[in-house]
């Protein structure tokens, strides 16, 4: 490692990916600095996966109280205190911020608070200083996007949703992706009257069509207002709160409007283009398989590169960069069969190919599907269905896709992701004896082809 620079590696962005890269590089003996202008842990820890999952847990209690009557408990609906939930959430996030700080400092990395900008391929400017490094790693993530429409400034994004002073009695969520679906469930479960507006014909583009349809049906059962093929034309503020005018001319009044209409790579204002780092039309940093940019000693990872925008992927990319540059183990990431989940209500999870993707890739496929009422709800009386689906390449008999909607979908699909990564066949699924009674056993007992 060259010693004529201040550092061997300078990381811009202390999100999950940047922290992992910095920590691993430092553990190999590299001199590492990590710059962060906001909060340690990035989006996931502060305004993303972790606090969102905590709010999902909170929102599930309302149904749990209702379901308890089926198991002999007296009906009860204790009052809910939004400020207490937010305070408890904030305390946990503060603890995690400290964990991330310790991960870096104990590994020997230096944390620099402030906004770092790239001056040239070996130099960054921060807090009035210029610092040099042999390698730069850009890990600045993504940022919520608001549509350009009249009154958009009256609306919030997911960033602000975690810090509201009160629970909105009436909420409009705009979007059809996982953030929109999850927040619609959160606000609805906590007691808000929620309308979910999406311009598309169905929610969750990119997921298996059976999952998309099944989840929309479940949301409607919960009396959550779902307006598909609909957009907002403008938002106005009045004495009673906000009013959203839709593309059909109708109006919906609300106390809060939240846009969850996508995120854009957080690449502007860091000097990247001036330094010669190539960006694509969406502002994502262009990288090769090793996360190297158009400048050989500058690397980029995570949502900034708009490859597979998931926290564990950013972590894996950061680890791979550190291994490649400082660990003597050059390697790249395999993006096939990465599992993902949406913590909707009920949750969904998936790994591998959707049915349509599999047909496009393999031609002939076999589909196995099971739709059933979960055992729990045989006593609660709740009209909820679980869905499980396997997609099999007919020629090789490999299971190339596994999809689920239902309680603990994420926990179950995580295990199946290992099987798909190992190339498991349908016969091997069939030879596996299930755990009874569980929902997960359906994945090893489906024998009848749906198509």
Listed by start position, the domains of the chain span 7-143+264-326, 152-261, 340-444
Catalytic residue among 188, 198, 403, 436: 436
Q: Which residue bears the tokens 């939004």?
A: 82
Helix (H) / strand (E) element for 125: namely strand 123-126
Q: Do domains 152-261 and 340-444 have the same CATH topology?
A: no
Q: Distance between CA 308 and CA 341 in Å, rounded?
A: 13
With H, G, I as helix, E, B as strand and everything else as coil, classify residue 351: strand
Question: What was the pLDDT predicted at 76?
Answer: 82
Structural domain 152-261, CATH architecture:
3-Layer(bba) Sandwich (3.50)
Q: Distance between CA 130 and CA 120 in Å, rounded?
A: 11
Based on the residue annotation, tell me whether 436 is a catalytic residue of this protein: yes
With H, G, I as helix, E, B as strand and everything else as coil, classify residue 25: helix
Question: What was the pLDDT predicted at 36?
Answer: 98
Q: Distance between CA 231 and CA 400 in Å, rounded?
A: 35
Cβ-contact 22, 34 below 8 angstroms: yes
Question: What was the pLDDT predicted at 2?
Answer: 54
Q: Report CA torsion sign: 325, 326, 332, 338.
A: negative
DSSP-assigned states of every residue in 241-277: EEEEEETTS-EEEESEEEE-S-EEE--TTSSTTTTT-
Is the domain 340-444 a CATH 3.65.10.10 member? no
Cβ-contact 380, 219 below 8 angstroms: no
Mean pLDDT by runs of 10 across the 451 residues of the chain is 85 98 98 97 97 98 95 91 98 98 97 98 97 98 96 98 98 98 98 98 97 97 95 94 96 97 96 96 98 98 97 98 97 97 98 98 98 96 97 98 98 98 98 97 96 77
3-state secondary structure 380-404: HCCCCCEEEEEEEECCCCEEEEEEE
CATH number of the domain located at residue range(s) 7-143+264-326 in this protein? 3.50.50.60
Q: Distance between CA 335 and CA 376 in Å, rounded?
A: 36
**This prediction's pTM:** 0.96
């Amino acid at each position: 490692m060259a010693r004529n620079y201040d550092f061997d590696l300078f990381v811009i962005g202390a999100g999950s990916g940047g922290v992992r890269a910095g920590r691993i590089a430092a553990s190999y003996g590299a001199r590492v600095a990590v710059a962060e202008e906001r909060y340690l842990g990035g989006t996931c820890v502060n305004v993303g996966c972790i606090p969102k999952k905590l709010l999902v847990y909170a929102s599930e209690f309302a149904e749990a109280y209702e379901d308890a009557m089926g198991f002999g408990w007296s009906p009860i609906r204790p009052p809910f205190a939004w400020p207490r939930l937010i305070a408890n959430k904030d305390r946990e996030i503060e603890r995690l911020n400290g964990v991330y700080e310790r991960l870096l400092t104990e590994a020997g990395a230096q944390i620099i608070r402030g906004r770092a900008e790239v001056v040239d391929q070996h130099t960054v400017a921060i807090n009035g200083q210029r610092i040099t490094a042999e390698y730069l790693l850009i890990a600045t993530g993504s940022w919520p996007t608001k549509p350009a429409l009249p009154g958009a400034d009256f609306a919030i994004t997911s960033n602000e949703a975690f810090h509201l002073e009160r629970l909105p009695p009436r909420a409009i969520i705009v979007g059809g992706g996982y953030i929109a679906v999850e927040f619609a469930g959160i606000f609805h479960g906590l007691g808000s009257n929620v309308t979910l507006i999406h311009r598309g014909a169905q929610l969750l583009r990119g997921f298996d069509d059976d999952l998309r349809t099944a989840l929309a049906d479940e949301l409607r059962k919960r009396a959550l207002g779902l307006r598909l093929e609909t957009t907002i034309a403008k938002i106005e503020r009045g004495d009673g709160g906000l009013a959203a005018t839709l593309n059909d001319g109708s109006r919906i009044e609300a106390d809060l409007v939240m846009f969850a209409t996508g995120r854009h790579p957080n690449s502007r204002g860091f000097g990247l283009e001036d330094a010669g780092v190539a960006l694509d039309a969406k502002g994502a940093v262009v990288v090769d398989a090793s996360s190297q940019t158009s400048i050989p000693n500058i690397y980029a990872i995570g949502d900034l590169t708009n490859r597979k925008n998931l926290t564990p992927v950013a972590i894996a990319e950061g680890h791979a960069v550190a291994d490649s540059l400082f660990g003597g183990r050059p390697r790249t990431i395999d993006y096939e069969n990465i599992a993902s989940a949406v913590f909707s209500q009920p949750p969904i999870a998936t790994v591998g190919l959707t049915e349509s993707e599999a047909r496009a890739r393999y031609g002939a496929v076999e589909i196995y599907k099971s739709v059933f009422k979960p055992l729990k709800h045989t006593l609660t009386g709740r009209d909820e269905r679980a869905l499980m689906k396997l997609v099999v390449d007919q020629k090789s008999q490999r299971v190339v896709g596994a999809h689920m909607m239902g309680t603990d979908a994420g926990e179950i699909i995580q295990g199946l992701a290992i099987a798909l990564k190992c190339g498991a066949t349908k016969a091997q699924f069939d030879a596996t004896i299930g755990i009874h009674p569980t929902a997960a056993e359906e994945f090893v007992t489906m024998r009848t082809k749906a198509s």
